[in-house]
Chain A
Amino acid sequence: MVFSNVTFLFVFLPLVFLAYFAVPFRFKKGVLLVFSLVFYAWGEPVYILLMLYSIVVNFYMGIGIERYPDRAKSTMIFAVALNLFILGFFKYYGFLIENINALFRLQLPIRELALPIGISFYTFESLSYILDVYKGKISCQKNIVTYASYIAMFPQLLSGPIVRYSDIAEQLEQRKIDGVRFGEGCERFLFGLAKKVLLANTIGNLFDTIHAMGGDISVLTAWLGAVAYTLQIYFDFSGYSDMAIGLGKMLGFTFLENFNYPYLSASVTEFWRRWHISLGAWFREYVYIPLGGNRVPVLKHIRNILVVWFLTGLWHGASWNFIVWGMYYAALLLWEKYIFKPRNFPRPLKRLFTMLAVIIGWVIFSADNLSGAMVTILRMFGIGASGWIDETGLYYLSTNWLLLLLGVLFSVSLGRRLYRFLWKNCRPVLSISCGVLFVLCVAYMVTQNYNAFLYFRF
């Protein structure tokens, strides 16, 4: 089930609220767990067993680490290895066999198993829990319903943010549920829904159209496609995060922010502090810092960056273009750190260069394969393109310029400024605007058949 779906909005969510607010506090976790399992099972009737398995094993491993200190290390290693095996098998098995076959000219059979939705997210949450219990940063959870409601919590189950147990442990036991927070959550959810339904899906249509053209496209059309995807993925993913944070707030939870206007960044380093913050924080905490972080000799630091970005790329999918995308960012970060520090450049110019790097990154990310990415990038710079400007490009520009402009304006801080202005000066207009936005979203949802989020596939 997805958030931007009429069934979710008008059937599932009202039932959740009805049950959640009707029961006493001590039963709320149970209610949340039951509905979260229904939410997951809706699309994954088989893989819910895998998630339940992961919950049970990690829950008891956490207890084992704390109860048997002499075996804590081996238990931690077992749990980490098991989690990585599950993730590796279900996500990378086909990719691995494909590469072995290609490399050694073998014909090992490939079984196409569907990717369990959300596996990358809940596995990383489980790993953070096990590692934090092992390090003694947190006490293990002794109530399996509480632990299961943390892992399976439907607002953040499928596409994050990756909520670490340490950030939410207290809230699982005690949280503030009131009308004001509920209202704030509704508002946040609505803005996320609008990002997804009105902007991401609509801009995504432009990208799909250009992507499906393949062959003869001009430089202008290639750039339009790349910019469209750049905006689509931002509104899609940040929209999901907004909805998740909003739902969390309605239920009394506070999740950490996952985006902070990444397209305003003046460097690639800053971009990754603002984009998918929870994933960056996870890799920093559990990979980069244990490897020594940046407090090591230069060569080791370079190794650390390469390892982290190789894994970041791989985390996004079992495909070489994701790995190359990760390594591309590793190269850019090392470039910024050791080679080129444009301190005296004006900030708008730095932002422009950063956006250029990010857009090229998204071309690698969105391509079907590496050669496709390379062809598109070359076309964007005039190599292999059918001219600089053609009628197709002009047509798509003239019919989509307003949409793209709105996309650019809302991907920076226009939305926030507009909201603050209306909140301070004109609250009735804000209320009416929210109502109109909701009606528009519903109208779009009814007519759009397909609403899956881009990050579901990761």
Chain B
Amino acid sequence: MKLRIFQAVSVIVLFLFILVLMQEKTPREMPLSEVERLILEKTELNGMTRSDALRFKRAYGLNAEDYLEILYYEPETTMDVNELLIVRVADSGQTETVRAAMESRIAQQQNNFDGYGTNQLEILEDALVYSNDMYVCLVIAGDSRTLMDVVRSIVEE
């Protein structure tokens, strides 16, 4: 009898767990093509240009295919530092890795411009990283705060 009760309880617990897990995922996950469209509607991305998975891998050492999606705008020229990166993560466990890669990229760029690129260093010092359960975002721009506010207003919808 005890065994049967245990079995019934274990089935109920499992279904409750799955139910809670499904509920947790209710916030709308917007594809990055939509996020990009909305960003471009609201602001201009100066000093940066649309890039791809390969350049993302080179800059951040991460494989784009390990994530649901990436949106990467790289510096327009070698003397630019402006960047926008949004990674749509498969689970929150990936967030830490992406954030670490972003911090490492900022440090690497600071190192590259250290000693001669005063303007670039100022921009890099204002770089912002933000993450929630679904997206990890990096903004390096002349007015990082404004651009990050735009990004956040979209991904937090």
Contact = CB atoms under 8 A, between A and B. Distances in A.
Mostly helix, strand, loop or mixed at chain A's interface?
Answer: helix
Nearest to A50: B17
A64 B4 CA distance: 10
Interface string A435-458: 000000000000011101000000
A46 interface: yes
A450 B63 contact: yes
Interface stretch (B96-104, B138-146, B147-155): B96-104
Interface stretch (A108-116, A149-157, A374-382): A108-116
Contact of B10 (A57, A112, A115): A57
A342 interface: no
Contact of B3 (A45, A53, A64): A64
B79 interface: no
A21 interface: no
Contacts of A60: 3, 6
B30 interface: no
A53 B66 contact: no
B65 interface: yes
Query: Chain A, interface size: which category?
Result: 20 to 34
Contacts, number: 70
A86 interface: yes
Interface string B47-83: 0000011100100111101101000000000000000
Given A53-B13, A450-B62, A114 B22 contact: no
Interface string A117-129: 1000000000000
Contacts of A86: 14
Contacts of A49: 17
A68 B6 CA distance: 14
Given A208-B63, A450-B97, A68 B3 contact: yes
B11 interface: yes
Contacts of B100: 449
Given A114-B93, A212-B57, A449-B61, A78 B7 contact: yes
B114 interface: no
A452 B62 CA distance: 10
Interface residues of B, number: 32
Interface string A73-92: 00100100010011001000
Given A43-B93, A68-B3, A450 B21 contact: no
B56 to A, nearest CB: 9
A448 to B, nearest CB: 6
B53 to A, nearest CB: 5
B40 interface: no
A212 B54 contact: yes
Interface of A: 43-46, 49-50, 53, 56-57, 60, 64, 68, 71, 75, 78, 82, 85-86, 89, 111-115, 117, 208-209, 212-213, 368, 448-450, 452
Interface of B: 3, 6-7, 10-11, 13-14, 17-18, 21-22, 25, 29, 52-54, 57, 60-63, 65-66, 68, 90-93, 97, 100-101, 104
Given A44-B93, A45-B93, A449-B100, 17 more contacts: A60-B3, A64-B6, A75-B3, A75-B7, A82-B11, A86-B14, A111-B25, A113-B21, A114-B91, A114-B93, A117-B93, A212-B57, A449-B60, A449-B62, A449-B101, A452-B66, A452-B97
* A-B interface, 9 closest residue pairs, ranked by CB to CB distance from nearest: A114-B91, A449-B61, A43-B93, A212-B54, A449-B101, A64-B3, A57-B10, A450-B62, A114-B90
